[in-house]
Chain A
Amino acid sequence: MNSNVLAVKELHKEYREIVAVDGVSFDVGRREIVGLLGPNGAGKTTTINMILGVLKPTSGTVMIEGLDIAAHRRRALERTNFAAVYAPLPGNLTVYENLRIFGLIYGVKKINERIEVLLRQFDLMKFRDTKCGVLSSGEQTRASLAKAMLNNPNLLLLDEPTASLDPATASEIRGKIREFAAQTAGGILWTSHNMYEVEEVCDRVLFLSRGKILLEGNPKTLPGEHGKKTLEELFIAVAREPLKLESD
């Protein structure tokens, strides 16, 4: 078994003259939650899309459990799943129907049992036969997370999973994700703009700006290492003065 669930090497993406991601390399270990942070347009979602195989890198490699996504897309994606605020489950199907369909696509064994476990785990029992489109933001996020955990993924990608949630619901969701990381051999790559959340949840953070990783480290100690009091202050510095930090 590989020690890393995800290994990204020299990932680069160019759209004509625009460089969206510029030679990014990092990895995610087992039971590790890695935060991918950065201002809007830094290249976080582009990186996640390349890991998911829906965007082809200009150069570089993405290995999931030792499988190159470019050569073994299907096998790599069987071990992966994701939830993103911009990719909700189809609103015209019920929670159960969506979970069943994606369960079949991800090749989940004992699918009905797995769906029942996830419905209970994400407190979705009463919405089992409710169409996803009429659920509240928090309920839709829980349904998306249930889908993301259907196949017990070794690599879970979460793109702003708690965006637009109230603090109580966000805290509850964070708890479920941490529980998942603790109970499985999987790793999580998490993007968020909520620095409090990142500090609470992530074991390690990567600061991305203008397509490059500028900083990497423990979210609790990293601000101090760069003369900042909080992670939020460090984030603002990265967003405003990336070149200064790069030269540091």
Chain B
Amino acid sequence: MKFSRIFAIVLRQFYLMRGSMSRILPMFVWVAIDMVLWGFITRYLNSIVGGGFNFVPVMLGAVLLWDFFARVMQGVTMAFFEDVWSRNFLNIFAAPLSIGEYVSGLVLSSVATSSVGLIVMLVLAGAVFGLSFLSYGIALVPFLAVLFLFGIALGIFASAVVLRLGPAAEWFIWPIPPFLSPFVGVFYPLSTLPRWMRYIAHLLPPSYVFEGMRAIVQGKPFSAALLFWSGTLAAVYILLACRFFIRIYHHAVNTGLIARYSAESVS
């Protein structure tokens, strides 16, 4: 792998961003709206429930972590969609760029864009609603790492789906985070879920993060082994997503999909 080629994909994203407010604003506007909305909801809940229970680290913290995961996934897919929208596949895939370099470029682009969103959320949640991430302790680092890894895995998987099914399949991709959220227990313990949903939840790394976050806030013990397991699971999903992307790419090269990729479905 050559870093200059990976850098080219990141640089392309930077060039697109710097000249386009419609690309810059979504990086932090939606997460800022979520922070303000859920910040006021948690304040309201604190005022009516009373009893000293603080909803801020449980609910606002959960929204922040979930938004971070969704931004990471969208960071990968948005960078990929730029090639879909500008019909750039032929230029990209007929160049001496390996799939590993291309996907690494998408991932690094996502690191940059999701970091902006994370910083905005941390500042807003801390400064306006008093959310202190010190309350999560050192566990915050692995929490973010697991969500980041799983977001990357889903982003690569989603990009492969669009490569296979065509630009119209973009609309399958946006609902993925909201579709997963009931299973991973963003706002409630997994014990709330029916058994069949819990089986699925145990296969999703973010479930362990939100369970761990709630345990820490409530002062209950939390298994570091489970957190390690969720990180391993997320890493396995990245490998599987990369294999899936490569498989779809080879299918596209066999069938001529890349050469014929156009504005409409090519399936």
Whether A106 lies near B90 (C-beta < 8 A) is: no
Q: Is A1 an interface residue (CB 8 A)?
A: no
Contacts of B15 in A (CB 8 A): 93-94, 97, 101
Q: Is B40 in the interface zone, CB < 8 Å from A?
A: no
The answer to whether A105 touches B8, judged by C-beta atoms less than 8 angstroms apart, is: yes
Q: Which of A45, A53, A92, A105 has the most chain B CB atoms closer than 10 A to its own CB?
A: A105
Interface residue B47 (Cβ < 8 Å from any Cβ of A) = no
The 0/1 profile, CB within 8 Å of B marked 1, for residues 70-102 of chain A is 000111011000101011111111100100111
In B224-265, the 8 Å CB interface with A consists of 250, 253-256, 258-259
| Bound Cα distance from A95 to B80, whole angstroms | 21
Interface size class of chain A, counting residues whose CB lies under 8 Å from the partner chain: 20 to 34
Q: Is the interface of B mostly helix, strand, loop or mixed?
A: helix
B16 touching A55 by the CB < 8 A rule?
Answer: no
Whether A168 sits at the interface, judged by CB under 8 Å, is no
Question: Chain B: how many interface residues by the 8 Å CB criterion?
Answer: 31
Segment at the interface with A among B93-101, B123-131, B159-167: B93-101
Is B2's CB within 8 Å of the partner chain A? yes
The reply to whether A90 and B97 contact each other, CB–CB distance below 8 Å, is no
Decide: A104 and B95 in contact? CB cutoff 8 A.
no
B197 at the A/B interface (Cβ < 8 Å)?
no
**What B residues does A105 contact at CB under 8 A?**
5, 8, 92, 95-97
Per a CB cutoff under 8 Å, which of B8, B82, B98, B259 touches A104? B8
**B93 x A54 contact (CB < 8 A):** yes
Cβ contact within 8 Å between A101 and B90? no
Q: Tell yes or no: B191 within 8 A of A by CB.
A: no
| Residues of chain A within 8 A of B95, CB atoms compared | 77, 102, 105-106
Nearest neighbor of B8 in chain A, beta-carbon distance: A104
Query: A176 an interface residue at 8 Å Cβ cutoff?
Result: no
Cβ-defined contact, A55 with B96, below 8 A: no
Q: Most chain-B CB neighbours within 10 Å: which of A54, A77, A88, A91? A: A54
Tell me whether B96 and A49 are in contact (CB under 8 A): no
Contacts A97-B15, A105-B95 hold; do A91 and B86 have CB atoms under 8 A apart? yes
By the criterion CB–CB under 8 Å, are B2 and A90 in contact?
Answer: no
Is there a chain A Cβ closer than 8 Å to B11's Cβ? Answer: yes
Given contacts A54-B94, A55-B253, A92-B86, contact A100 B11 (CB under 8 A): yes
Q: Which residue of chain B is the closest to A46 with respect to CB atoms?
A: B256
Task: Given A54-B253, A84-B90, answer yes or no on A101-B12 (Cβ-Cβ < 8 Å).
Answer: yes
Asked if A224 is at the interface of the complex by the 8 Å CB criterion, the answer is no
CB distance from B103 to the nearest CB of A (A): 14
Are A102 and B11 in contact, CB atoms less than 8 angstroms apart?
A: no
Give chain A residues whose Cβ lies under 8 Å from the Cβ of B218.
Answer: none
0/1 interface trace, chain B 47-91, chain A, CB 8 Å (1 if under): 000000000000000000000000000000000001001111011
Q: How far is the CA of A94 from the CA of B11 in the complex (A)?
A: 13
Q: How far is B93's CA from A100's CA once the two chains are assembled, in angstroms? A: 17
Interface assignment of B7: CB less than 8 Å from any CB of chain A: yes
Given A84-B90, A92-B86: A106 touches B259 (CB 8 Å cut-off): no
Of A52, A75, A93, A106, the contact of B16 (CB 8 Å cutoff): A93
The yes or no answer to A107 lying at the interface (CB within 8 A) is yes
- Nearest-neighbour CB distance to chain B for A56, whole angstroms, equals 5
Mark contacts of B14-37 with chain A using CB atoms, 8 A cut-off: 1 yes-contact digit, 0 otherwise: 011000100000000000000000
- Among A46, A93, A100, max chain B CB count under 10 A is at A93
Closest to B101 in A: A105
Which residue of the partner chain, among B7, B92, B94, B96, contacts A82 with CB atoms under 8 Å?
A: B94
The answer to whether B11 and A101 have CB atoms under 8 Å apart is yes
Closest to A82 in B: B94
A77-B91 CB under 8 A given contacts A92-B86, A93-B16, A101-B15: no
Q: Which A residues fall within an 8 A CB radius of B?
A: 15, 45-46, 49, 52-56, 73-75, 77-78, 82, 84, 86-94, 97, 100-102, 104-107, 147
Q: What are 28 residue pairs bridging A and B, where the CB atoms are less than 8 Å apart in the complex?
A: A15-B255, A45-B259, A46-B256, A49-B256, A53-B94, A54-B90, A54-B94, A54-B256, A56-B253, A73-B96, A77-B96, A78-B96, A82-B94, A87-B94, A88-B87, A92-B85, A97-B12, A101-B12, A102-B8, A102-B95, A104-B4, A104-B5, A104-B11, A105-B96, A105-B97, A106-B95, A107-B2, A107-B5
Residues of B near any A CB (own CB < 8 A):
2, 4-5, 7-8, 11-12, 15-16, 20, 82, 85-88, 90-98, 250, 253-256, 258-259
**Ranked 6 nearest A-B pairs via Cβ:** A104-B8, A90-B86, A77-B96, A52-B94, A87-B90, A49-B259
